[in-house]
C-alpha cells in the first residue's frame, strides 16, 4: 500500500546542509503494524513526516497504491491527508483555545464521525471533556491527541512516540485500544518509538541509524500490549 | 536582553500613528499660537469673527484628530506589550525562573518609548516643513495680517519629549504588572484568561467552534478591526462632507490620516490574528482542512466587528460635523447648509468593502502558505 523509494531529505541552506534521510526505501502493506526504532536524531520523525505527506522529499517517491504523493499539488496533498492520514505527534499539538471535546471533534468531523464520544471514553477522558489543553497533564494531552487521530478513522495512522508521556498502565491501555481498533477498522499503523519492547507487538520492525534503514524484519508472532515488557 | 532593535521596528504601527498625531497637532497648535500673537493687530469686527473661527477650528481639529490618534497610540502600545509578553512568555518565564527580578526584566521595555520618539519627532519636523504652505492657505483671502511660522519650544516639549517619557514609563509599568504572573504560568506558554471565555456551548460544527474561539480569545483584536472600520468610515466621509466648509488641504489631510490609520490598524490586527493562530492553522492543515476552511475559521469571524465599526463611524462624523457647523460657525455668514452626505456614504462603503476584502484575501493567501511543518519548527512569533 505504501511504497517509499530512495527518499532523500536534507535541512539547512547550502553551507550547513545536513542530510537527514539518506536514501530510504520501504514497503508497508495494508493492515500492517510497522514500528520504527532508532536513536534520537536518527531521522525517525523526519521519515514519518515525509511518509505522511506533511513534507516533500528532496528526491525519491512516496507511493500510496501507486500514486506518488510527493508530486501532488498542495491542494491535492491536503485532500489526500484529509481522506487517509491520522497523525499523533511527539509533542501532541492540540488546539490551545478549544476544549478536549472540540479537539477530538476536529478529527471526527473530517470523517463524518458522530460517535467520537466512544473514542474519548475508551481513552479514559470522559471526565476531561470540558477541559482545555493547558489544564491537562502531559499524558492526558497525549491521549487527547490519540483520540483526535482515531476519531478521524484514518486509513493510515502515523504515531510519533505515542506513549512517551504515559505511565506503564496508561501506556498499555492506549496501545491495547489502538490495536483493538485496528482489528476492527483494518487501518495501517506506522509507529515510531524508543521503547524496544513495543516492537514485539509489531508485524514489521524497522531499525534506523543516521538516516538509513539498517535492519528490517517481520515478527512471526505478535504480543499484546499486556504481554510485552515495559 | 529580550528586546532588540528589531522589535522597535515591529512597532511600526505606533510610529505611524505618532507621526500622524503629532503632525496634525503641531500644525494646528503652532498656527494657533502664532495666530494669538496678532490678535491685537485685528481691528474690524468681521476679521475678528474670522479670527475666532480659525482659532476654534484649529482647536477642534487638533483635539479631535490629535486626541483620537493619541488614544489609539496608547491602546496600541498596551496591546503591543501585552502581545509581546504573551508571545515571549516562555523566555520571560525562563529568565524569571533563573532569578532575574521583575524590575530587571521590565526595565528593558523602556525602549518601546523610542518608537514614540521616532514617530513624534518625524511628525513634528514634517509639520514644520509644511507650515509655510499651510499658513498661506489658511489666509488665502488676505483678510488677516501676514505672519510667519515660529518655533515653540513648549510644543516640542509637550508633543515630542513628554509622550516619549510617558510611553517609556508606561511600557515599564505595564510590563511590570504583567510580569506578576507566576513563573509556572509563564512557562506553560498560554495565558489562562485568554481561553476560559469559551464556554462549552451548543453542538456547533467544528469550524464554527474554532471561529468563535479565535474571536473570543482575543477581544482586543475585535476592537482593532472595529476601530479600523470606524476610522475609515468617519474620516473618509468627513473629508467629503467638509469640502464646502473647509479648505481642500484640510479635506486631503483628513482623508490621508483616515486611510493611514485604517490601513495601519487593520494591518496590525490581521497580522496578529494570523500569527497567533498559525499553530492552530498548521495543525488543521495536517489533518487535511483546506486553505479556505482555515482562513474562514481564523479571519471571517471579525466581519461583524468591521460592519459595526463602520456604522458607528458614519454616525460619529455626522454628529461631529453637525455640531461643528452649529456651534463653531454659528456667527459666521455664508456657511453652507450641512446635510447628511449620502454620496460620501456610498463611496466610503463601497471602497471600504473592497479595501477590507482585498486585505482579507491577501491574508488568506498567507494562511495558505503556513506549512504544516510550521509548528514543528516553532519559528512562528
Ligand atoms: N526543520 C529542521 N531543520 C533543520 N534540522 C532539522 C529539522 N528537523 C529535524 N532536523 C534535524 O534532523 C535530525 C533528525 O531529526 P528527527 O526529528 O527526524 O529525529 P528523531 O529520530 O525523530 O529523534 P527523536 O527520537 O529525538 O525524536 C536531527 O538532527 C534534527 O536536528
Ligand atoms: Mg522524533
Residue B370 counted as domain residue: yes
| Cα A167 to ligand 1 centre (Å) | 25
Is the pTM value of this prediction over 0.90? Answer: no
Return the closest-CA partner of residue B341 out of B357, B324, B321, B356: B321
| Domain's final residue, options B192, B208, B231 | B192
Interval A192-220 mean pLDDT? 93
Confidence (pLDDT) at A117: 93
Find the residue in A nearest to B281 (Cα).
A95
> pLDDT above 70 covers what percent of chain A?
100
- Among the atoms of ligand 1, which is closest to the Cα of residue A49? 18
Asked if residue B340 and residue B225 are part of one domain, the reply reads: yes
Specify the number of domains making up chain B: 2
| CB A9 near ligand 1, within 6 Å | no
From the list A80, A95, A152, the residue facing B280 with the nearest CB is: A95
CA dist., res. B120 & res. B158, Å (int):
10
| Cα A146 to ligand 1 centre (Å) | 22
Interval A11-24 mean pLDDT? 88
Question: What is chain B's Cα-based Rg?
Answer: 24
CA–CA min distance B17, chain A (Å)? 32
Exposure string of B210-243, with b = 16+ CB inside 10 Å and e = fewer, is bbbbbbbbbeebbbbbbbbbbbbbbbbbbbbbbb
Asked if residue B126 and residue B217 are part of one domain, the reply reads: no
A98 contact B CB<8A:
yes
Asked if residue B161 and residue B214 are part of one domain, the reply reads: no
| CB A46 near ligand 1, within 6 Å | yes
Residue A207 counted as domain residue: yes
Confidence (pLDDT) at B197: 46
Which residues from B are below 8 Å from A82, CB to CB?
Answer: 287-290
| Cα A196 to ligand 1 centre (Å) | 20
In tens, the pLDDT along B135-188 reads 888 777 777 777 888 899 999 998 899 989 988 888 888 878 877 877 777 776
Asked if residue B140 and residue B126 are part of one domain, the reply reads: yes
Answer yes or no: are the C-beta atoms of B360 and B270 closer than 8 Å. yes
CA–CA min distance B290, chain A (Å)? 6
Give the 3-state secondary structure of residue B27. helix
Mutate to test the interface with B, among A44, A50, A54, A97 (most CBs of B within 10 A): A97
Asked if residue B113 and residue B88 are part of one domain, the reply reads: yes
Confidence (pLDDT) at B2: 56
| Domain's final residue, options B144, B166, B192 | B192
Residue B379 counted as domain residue: no
| CB A44 near ligand 1, within 6 Å | yes
Residue A72 counted as domain residue: no
| CB A229 near ligand 1, within 6 Å | no
Asked if residue B208 and residue B181 are part of one domain, the reply reads: no
Confidence (pLDDT) at B243: 67
| Domain's final residue, options B192, B225, B257 | B192
Residue B381 counted as domain residue: no
In tens, the pLDDT along B28-66 reads 889 888 888 887 777 777 777 777 777 777 777 677 667
What residues make up the domain containing A151? 30-55+84-218
A211 pLDDT band (50/70/90 cuts)?
very high
- Which residue has the CA at smallest separation from atom 3 of ligand 1? A11
CA dihedral over A99, A100, A103, A105, signed as positive or negative? negative
Residue A147 counted as domain residue: yes
Residues ≥6 apart with Cβ < 8 Å to B206: A102, A105, A106, A109
Specify the number of domains making up chain A: 1
In tens, the pLDDT along A72-88 reads 998 899 899 999 999 99
Residue B365: how many CB atoms within 10 A of its CB? 11
Find the residue in B nearest to A108 (Cα).
B206
A134 contact B CB<8A:
yes
Interval A125-148 mean pLDDT? 91
With CB atoms and an 8 Å threshold, state whether B287 touches A82: yes
Residue B380 counted as domain residue: no
Residue A17 counted as domain residue: no
Ligand 1, from B372, B377, B378, B379: best to mutate by most atoms within 8 Å of Cβ?
B377
Interval A120-130 mean pLDDT? 93
pLDDT tens digits in sequence order for chain B, 381 residues long = 456 666 666 677 778 888 888 888 888 889 888 888 887 777 777 777 777 777 777 777 677 667 767 777 777 777 777 777 777 777 888 888 888 888 888 888 888 788 889 999 999 999 999 898 888 887 777 777 778 888 999 999 988 999 899 888 888 888 788 778 777 777 765 554 445 545 555 678 899 889 988 888 778 889 889 989 998 998 888 888 776 666 677 778 778 888 888 888 898 889 888 888 888 899 999 899 998 999 999 999 999 999 999 999 999 888 877 877 776 666 666 666 677 888 889 999 999 999 999 999 999 998 888 877 766 665 433
| Cα A40 to ligand 2 centre (Å) | 7
Q: What angle do CA A101, A102, A106 make, to 5 degrees?
A: 120
With CB atoms and an 8 Å threshold, state whether A106 touches B287: yes
What residues make up the domain containing B233? 196-374
Which ligand has the nearest atom to the CA of A18? 1
Residues with CB under 5 A from ligand 2 (ion): A 45
Asked if residue B182 and residue B152 are part of one domain, the reply reads: yes
B303 contact A CB<8A:
no
Residue A204 counted as domain residue: yes
Answer yes or no: are the C-beta atoms of A111 and A151 closer than 8 Å. yes
Residue A25 counted as domain residue: no
Confidence (pLDDT) at B193: 47
Confidence (pLDDT) at B331: 63
With CB atoms and an 8 Å threshold, state whether A95 touches B283: yes
- CB contacts < 8 A, A to B, total 91
Answer yes or no: are the C-beta atoms of B150 and B33 closer than 8 Å. yes
Asked if residue B262 and residue B211 are part of one domain, the reply reads: yes
Confidence (pLDDT) at B5: 63
Asked if residue B200 and residue B56 are part of one domain, the reply reads: no
Mean pLDDT estimate for chain A: 92
Among B residues 149-188, those touching chain A with beta carbons less than 8 Å apart: 188
| CB A42 near ligand 1, within 6 Å | yes
Asked if residue B239 and residue B133 are part of one domain, the reply reads: no
| CB A60 near ligand 1, within 6 Å | no
Asked if residue B259 and residue B177 are part of one domain, the reply reads: no
The per-residue DSSP string of B90-127 comes to HHHHHHHHHT--HHHHHHGGGGHHHHHHHHHHHHHHHH
CA dihedral B322, B324, B329, B335 (to 10 degrees): -40
CA dist., res. B160 & res. B166, Å (int):
10
- Among the atoms of ligand 1, which is closest to the Cα of residue A44? 21
Answer yes or no: are the C-beta atoms of B355 and B264 closer than 8 Å. no
| Cα A62 to ligand 1 centre (Å) | 20
The per-residue DSSP string of B131-189 comes to HHHHHHHHTTT--SPP------HHHHIIIIIHHHHHHHHHHHHHHHHHTTS-HHHHHH-
Q: What ipTM was assigned to the predicted interfaces of this complex?
A: 0.87
With CB atoms and an 8 Å threshold, state whether B210 touches A95: yes
Q: Give the total residue count for chain B.
A: 381
CATH number of the domain that residue A113 is part of: 3.40.50.300
With CB atoms and an 8 Å threshold, state whether B280 touches A54: no
Find the residue in B nearest to A104 (Cα).
B206
Confidence (pLDDT) at B379: 40
| CB A38 near ligand 1, within 6 Å | yes
| CB A16 near ligand 1, within 6 Å | no
> pLDDT above 70 covers what percent of chain B?
85
Answer yes or no: are the C-beta atoms of A129 and A119 closer than 8 Å. no
CA dist., res. B138 & res. B337, Å (int):
22
Residue A116 counted as domain residue: yes
CA dist., res. A77 & res. A55, Å (int):
10
Confidence (pLDDT) at A97: 86
Asked if residue B130 and residue B8 are part of one domain, the reply reads: yes
Amino acid at each position: 500500500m505504501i511504497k517509499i523509494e530512495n527518499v532523500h531529505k536534507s535541512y539547512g541552506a547550502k553551507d550547513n546542509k545536513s542530510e537527514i534521510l539518506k536514501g530510504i526505501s520501504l514497503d508497508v502493506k495494508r493492515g500492517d503494524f510497522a514500528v520504527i526504532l532508532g536513536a534520537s536524531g536518527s531521522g525517525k520523525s523526519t521519515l514519518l513526516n515525509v511518509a505522511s505527506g506533511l513534507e516533500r522529499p528532496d528526491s525519491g517517491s512516496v507511493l500510496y497504491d501507486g500514486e506518488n504523493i510527493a508530486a501532488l499539488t498542495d491542494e491535492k496533498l491536503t485532500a489526500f491527508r484529509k481522506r487517509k492520514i491520522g497523525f499523533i505527534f511527539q509533542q501532541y499539538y492540540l488546539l490551545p483555545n478549544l476544549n478536549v471535546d472540540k479537539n477530538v471533534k476536529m478529527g471526527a468531523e473530517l470523517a463524518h464521525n458522530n460517535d467520537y464520544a466512544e473514542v474519548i471514553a475508551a481513552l479514559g477522558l470522559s471526565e476531561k471533556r470540558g477541559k482545555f489543553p493547558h489544564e491537562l497533564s502531559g499524558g492526558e494531552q497525549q491521549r487527547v491527541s490519540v483520540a483526535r487521530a482515531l476519531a478521524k478513522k484514518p486509513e493510515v495512522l502515523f504515531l510519533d512516540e505515542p506513549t512517551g508521556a504515559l505511565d506503564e498502565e496508561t501506556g498499555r491501555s492506549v496501545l491495547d485500544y489502538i490495536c483493538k481498533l485496528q482489528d476492527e477498522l483494518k487501518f495501517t499503523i506506522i509507529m515510531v518509538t524508543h521503547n524496544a519492547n513495543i516492537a514485539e507487538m509489531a508485524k514489521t520492525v524497522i531499525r534506523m541509524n543516521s538516516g538509513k534503514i539498517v535492519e528490517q524484519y517481520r515478527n512471526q508472532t505478535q504480543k499484546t500490549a499486556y504481554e510485552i515488557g515495559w | 536582553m529580550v528586546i532588540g532593535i528589531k522589535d522597535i521596528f515591529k512597532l511600526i504601527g505606533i510610529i505611524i500613528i505618532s507621526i500622524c498625531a503629532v503632525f496634525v497637532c503641531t500644525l494646528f497648535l503652532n498656527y494657533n499660537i502664532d495666530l494669538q500673537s496678532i490678535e491685537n493687530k485685528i481691528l474690524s469686527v468681521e476679521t475678528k469673527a474670522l479670527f475666532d473661527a480659525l482659532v476654534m477650528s484649529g482647536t477642534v481639529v487638533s483635539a479631535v484628530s490629535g486626541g483620537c490618534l493619541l488614544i489609539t497610540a496608547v491602546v496600541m502600545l498596551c496591546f503591543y506589550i501585552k502581545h509581546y509578553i504573551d508571545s515571549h512568555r516562555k523566555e520571560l518565564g525562563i529568565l524569571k525562573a533563573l532569578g532575574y527580578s521583575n524590575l530587571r526584566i521590565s526595565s528593558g521595555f523602556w525602549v518601546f518609548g523610542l518608537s514614540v520618539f521616532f514617530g513624534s519627532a518625524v511628525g513634528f519636523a514634517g509639520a514644520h516643513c509644511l507650515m509655510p504652505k499651510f499658513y498661506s492657505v489658511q489666509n488665502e483671502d488676505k483678510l488677516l495680517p501676514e505672519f510667519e511660522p515660529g518655533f515653540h519650544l513648549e510644543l516640542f516639549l509637550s508633543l515630542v519629549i513628554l509622550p516619549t517619557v510617558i510611553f517609556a514609563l508606561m511600557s515599564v509599568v505595564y510590563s511590570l504588572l504583567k510580569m506578576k504572573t507566576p513563573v509556572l504560568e509563564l512557562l506553560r506558554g498560554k495565558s489562562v484568561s485568554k481561553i476560559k471565555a469559551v464556554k462549552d456551548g451548543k453542538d456547533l460544527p467544528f469550524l464554527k467552534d474554532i471561529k468563535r474561539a479565535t474571536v473570543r480569545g482575543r477581544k482586543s483584536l475585535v476592537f482593532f478591526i472595529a476601530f479600523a472600520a470606524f476610522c475609515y468610515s468617519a474620516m473618509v466621509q468627513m473629508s467629503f462632507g467638509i469640502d464646502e466648509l473647509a479648505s481642500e488641504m484640510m479635506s486631503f489631510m483628513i482623508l490621508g490620516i483616515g486611510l493611514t490609520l485604517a490601513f495601519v490598524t487593520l494591518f496590525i490586527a490581521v497580522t496578529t490574528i494570523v500569527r497567533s493562530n498559525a499553530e492552530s492553522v498548521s495543525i488543521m492543515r495536517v489533518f487535511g482542512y483546506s486553505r479556505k476552511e482555515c482562513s474562514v475559521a481564523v479571519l471571517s469571524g471579525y466581519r461583524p466587528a468591521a460592519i459595526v465599526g463602520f456604522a458607528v463611524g458614519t454616525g460619529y462624523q455626522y454628529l461631529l460635523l453637525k455640531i461643528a457647523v452649529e456651534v463653531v460657525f454659528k456667527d459666521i455668514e455664508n456657511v453652507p447648509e450641512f446635510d447628511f452626505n449620502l454620496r460620501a456614504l456610498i463611496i466610503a462603503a463601497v471602497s471600504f468593502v473592497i479595501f477590507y476584502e482585498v486585505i482579507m484575501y491577501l491574508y488568506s493567501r498567507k494562511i495558505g502558505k503556513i506549512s504544516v511543518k510550521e509548528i514543528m519548527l516553532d519559528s512562528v512569533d
